[in-house]
Structure 1
Amino acid sequence: MYLGIDLGTSGVKVLLMAPDQTVVASATSPLDVQRRQTGWSEQNPTDWISATEQAIEQLKADHAKALSAVKGIGLSGQMHGAVLLDRADRVLRPCILWNDTRSHVEAATLDADPRFRKITGNIVFPGFTAPKLVWVKKHEPAIFEATAKVLLPKDYLRLWLTGEHISEMSDAAGTSWLDVKHRTWSDVLLEATGLTRAHMPALVEGTQPAGMLRKELAERWGVSGPVTVAGGAGDNAASACGAGTVSAGAAFLSLGTSGVLFAATDRYLPNPESAVHTFCHALPGTWHQMGVILSATDSLNWLSGITGASAADLSAELGESLRAPSSVTFLPYLSGERTPHNDALIRGSFTGIEHATDRSRLTQAVMEGVAFAFRDNLEALRQAGTVLERVMAVGGGSRSPYWLKAIATALNLPVDVPEDSDRGTAFGAARLGLIAATGADPASVCTPPPIARTIEPERSLRDAFEEAYARFRKLYPAIRGVSS
């Protein structure tokens, strides 16, 4: 058996996978986000351990025999977070998360140094790890001085699982410290932020072994025999491994808390000016490009909280037949935006509201706004030299047929929906655990799932969606000066 552990923003998911890649069982445990100030987003790393233990205890209660047979563990997790540890591996402060924008000034300063884009192939976004450390150095100097190791979220779980300080290429690529082309830490960039290689974990490929499960945990979980922990992957690369998006030209669209349009490549193809991310993939010798929006299903969840109706009920109110866009337009910039604007201060808006605007119109506008933000990502990928012919939908929001129809029509691309909804981030992590434990060929393991259905663009509504997208594009520069 192989165990995938996915540390998300809203919870930890664990998944047991058989050698034939059948999903045996899964369990989840929720997490909360602390927002102490505007633009801040934090979690306590010890809560991740508690949530992981709770999820695994759920597996043990119902599937003790299967859990006892685990031979490999793969890790995936939310990217860019800064876990600061002292010399005794004690956590010095809450983890600053990926969607925390407090370090936008520090990010702009680092980005103005041409070495960062040249070496990393990326803009220094406020959500990345390096500007967070510069912010800590400026505002919490005693904590910065006490910092002996900087770990990414999933790698803090690895430290608990194995006792090792290790990371891997796909997650490290989102720190602004990695030489993405050569897949190694950059001493130049570390020095520019007051750090050295000694502050960083060792690096392996996502498919390689990266420690062994501690005996104490193996005994507690009833696991017999040695268990290899794989390098694993950042959440998007892990999703790609689960979806089989590992060869050049393959692409997926993740409709989760954040939104990602992800394309695998077999070459290093940086184009930071387009605000597209160019990162290492979890498989050796591969890279990927992606556009990122910060509030995808988060936008619908926000509306759910405002209206008191569940996100599922809001979606169900629209039915399954796609409507032409109304006069209401939503900009989904609830916590700033990455691609294509790289704007930490911009905030969301509704425009075009009138007396006839009801809850369903607001829901429709939110879904269309997220779809148009994905269209922005598609255009940015095209500028970066990546042309897509179709995408696979993954993530919780992909359960909404209406939303997928809106996205397919906004992108003017077919959207494939896989048969197995469990082939997500935790499944990709379990696949990496299998590869690391057995030495299996990554390409033969990370295959695409069968497709249940394909959602084609609604041709009769293409012109209406193009007009609405043009209106959407005009709104960002119109509100930028008054919302930030």
Structure 2
Amino acid sequence: MYLGLDLGTSGVKALLMDGEQRIIASANGELQVSRPRSGWSEQNPQDWLNATQTAVAGLRASHPAELVAVKGIGLSGQMHGATLLDASGAVLRPCILWNDTRSHKEAAILDADPRFRSITGNIVFPGFTAPKLVWVKENEPNLFAQVAKVLLPKDYLRLWLTGETISEMSDSAGTAWLDVGNRRWSSELLASTDLDESHMPRLVEGTQVGGVVRAELAASWGMGSRVVVAGGAGDNAASACGMGTVTPGSAFVSLGTSGVLFAANASYLPNAESAVHTFCHALPNTWHQMGVILSATDSLNWLSRITGKKAADLTQPLGETLRAPTGVTFLPYLSGERTPHNDALIRGAFVGLEQETGPVEMTQAVIEGVAFAIRDNLEALRSAGTELARVTAIGGGSRSVYWLKAIATALGTPVDLPADGDFGAAFGAARLGLIAATGADPVVVCTPPATRSTIDPEGDVMSAFADAYGRYRRLYPAMKAA
């Protein structure tokens, strides 16, 4: 048996998988986000441990015999979070999360230093870890002076599991301290933020052993001895392992709270100016590129809140027949935007509202706006040298046939739907646990699921979608100048 632990923003998911990669059971522990000020987003690391205990307790209650047989654990986690520890291992402050934008000025200063893009292959985004530490240094200097280790969220979970400070390349690539092409910490970039490699965890590949579960914790969970913990992965790379997106040319689009267009690469292909993330993959000698939008299903959830209608009730009147865009355009920049704009301060908008506009037209515009934002990501990937013949859809938003038709038509690319099953980050983490425990070939383990169906672009409205996308593209610079 193998256990995948996925530490997300809203909860921890624990998934049990057997040696044949059959999912046996899963359980969850909930998390909350603290937003003490505008633009701030924090969590107490102790809450991650409590949620993990809750999730594993759920599995132990339902499948105690299977938990005894666990030989490997894989970790997946929300990226970029700054978890700061003192010399005794105590947490110094709440973790500053991936969607916290307080350090946008510090990010811009670091990004202006050409060494960062040259060594990391990426823009220094406000959500990355390095600018958060610069913010702490400038705003909480006494606390910064006590920092002995900086850990990413899943690696704090690993510290609790194993007693070791270890990370891996896919997650560490999102700190702005990693030499992504050479898969190692950059002492030069660390020094530029008044840190050094002693502040960083040791690096392993995501498929390698990254610790062993402490005997007392294993006993409390009803596990046997020497349960290995894999290096693991950041959440998007873990999802890619779950989806089998590990070979060149494979790609997925994820419609979750945020949106991701992810493509696997056999070589390092940086193009920071495109605002595409170029990160190490969880598999050795493999990289990936991804475009990220910050509000995908969150845009529909926002509309749900302000209209007082459930998201399903908003989309139901649209049916499944794709409509040509109306004159209403939605910009989904509710929390700023990453790809392609790298703009933490831009905000969303409806444009083209009129007396006849109602909830149906606004819902249609929100769905189209997210589809067009993903099209922006596709164009950014193209500028970075990656062409996609097709994509596989995952995430909660992929349950909407209408939304997938809009995305396929906006992209001009077929969208595949996987066969029923759970192929997300927790499953990918469990696969990494299997590989670390057995030494199995990662490519043999991380195979894609069967395709249940394919949604093709709809030719009769492609011209209308192209015109609407052109209008969408013109609105960002107009909003920026306003």
Q: TM-score range by the shorter chain?
A: over 0.9
Counterpart-to-counterpart distance in 2, 1:325 and 1:14: 41
Match in the other structure for 1:258: 258
Q: CA deviation at 1:371?
A: 0.5
Q: Any idea what the Cα deviations from partners look like across 1:461-480, whole Å, max 9, x if unmatched?
A: 10111111111101111111
Unaligned runs of 5+ in 1: none
Q: Between Structure 1 and Structure 2, how many residues are aligned?
A: 482
* Aligned-partner residue type, residue 54 of structure 1: T
Structure 2 distance, partners of 1:86, 1:222, is 31
Q: Could you tell me which residue of structure 2 aligns to residue 95 of structure 1?
A: 95
Task: Check whether the contact 2:412–2:457 (CA below 8 A) recurs between aligned residues.
Answer: yes
* 2:6 aligned counterpart, secondary structure: strand
**How far off its partner does 1:119 sit?**
0.5
Which residue of 1 is the match for residue 418 of structure 2?
418
1:5 aligns with 2:16: no
1:123-170 per-residue CA deviation (whole Å, 9 max, x = no partner) reads 111110000000000011111111110000111110111111000000
Q: 1:479 and 2:456 equivalent?
A: no
Post-superposition Cα deviations, 1:42-81, rounded to whole Å, max 9, x if no partner, equal: 1111111111111111111111111121110000011111
The offset of 1:34, in angstroms, is 1.4
Q: Tell me the alpha carbon deviations over residues 367-406 of structure 1, each in whole angstroms, 9 at most, x when there is no partner.
A: 1111000000000000011010000111111111111111
Deviations 1:5-40 (A, max 9, x none): 111111111111110001111112222111222211
Residue matched to 2:384 = 384
Aligned twin of 2:330: 330
Contact between 2:275 and 2:338, CA under 8 Å: does it hold in 1?
yes
Give the aligned residue type for 1:414: P
In structure 2, C-alpha distance between the alignment counterparts of 1:252 and 1:461, rounded to whole Å: 24
- The letter for the 2-side match of 1:197 is E
Distance in 2 separating the partners of 1:82 and 1:75:
17
2:236 is aligned to 236
Q: CA deviation at 1:445?
A: 0.1
RMSD, aligned CA: 1.0
Q: Cα offset for 1:216?
A: 1.8
Q: Which residue of structure 2 aligns with residue 407 of structure 1?
A: 407
What is the match of residue 462 of structure 2? 462
Of stretches 312-321 and 174-183 in structure 1, the one that deviates more from structure 2 is: 312-321
Q: Secondary structure at the match of 2:145?
A: helix
Quick one: distance in 1 between partners of 2:379 and 2:162?
A: 42
User: Contact 2:368–2:406 at 8 Å: present in 1 too?
Assistant: yes
**Residue pair 2:248, 2:263 contacting (<8 A) in 1 also:** yes
Q: How does 1:233-312 map to 2 (within 5 A)?
A: 233-312=233-312
Q: Does 1:201 align with 2:201?
A: yes
Determine whether 1:174 maps to 2:174: yes
Aligned to 1:146, what secondary structure does the other structure show? coil
Counterpart position of 1:15? 15
Deviation by residue 1:322-376 (Cα, 9 ceiling, x = unmatched) = 1111111111111111110010110111111122222222211111111000000
Q: Does 1:224 align with 2:224?
A: yes
Amino acid of the residue matched to residue 34 of structure 2?
Q
Instruction: Name 2:140's counterpart in structure 1.
Output: 140
Name the aligned partner's letter for residue 364 of structure 2. Answer: Q
CA distance in 1, matches of 2:393, 2:296: 13
**Alpha-carbon contact 2:280-2:286 (below 8 Å) kept:** yes
Pairs within 5 Å for 1:433-472:
433-472=433-472
Equivalent residues of 2:215, 2:225 under 8 A apart: no
Distance in 2 of aligned mates of 1:401 and 1:77 = 28
User: 1:368 maps to what in 2?
Assistant: 368
Aligned-pair CA distance for 1:311: 2.3
Query: Can you list the C-alpha shifts for 1:236-289, whole angstroms capped at 9, x where unaligned?
Result: 100110000001111111111111111101011111011111100000000011
- TM-score (norm. length: structure 1): 0.98
Percent identity between matched residues is: 72
Question: What TM-score do you get using the length of structure 2 for normalisation?
Answer: 0.99
The offset of 1:94, in angstroms, is 1.0
For structure 2, the residue ranges without an aligned partner over 5 or more in a row are: none
Partner of 1:362: helix, strand, or coil?
A: helix
Distance 2:140 2:273 in 1: 32
C-alpha distance in structure 2 between counterparts of 1:59 and 1:307, whole Å: 38
In structure 2, what is the Cα distance between the partners aligned to 1:198 and 1:479?
Answer: 44
The structural deviation recorded for 1:320 is 1.4
Work out the CA distance in 2 between the residues paired with 1:15 and 1:405: 31
**Matched AA of 1:344:** A
Match of 1:162 in 2: 162
Q: Deviations over 1:83-128 (max 9, x none)?
A: 0111111111111111111111111100111110110011111110
Name 1:50's counterpart in structure 2.
Answer: 50
Secondary structure of the residue that 2:110 maps to in structure 1?
helix
Distance (whole Å) between structure 2 residues aligned to residue 147 and residue 374 of structure 1? 38
Amino acid at match of 1:134: V
Q: In the alignment, what sits opposite 2:318? A: 318
Task: Kindly provide the CA deviation profile for residues 160-181 of structure 1, in whole angstroms up to 9, marking residues without a partner as x.
Answer: 1111100000000010000001
SS at match of 1:195: coil
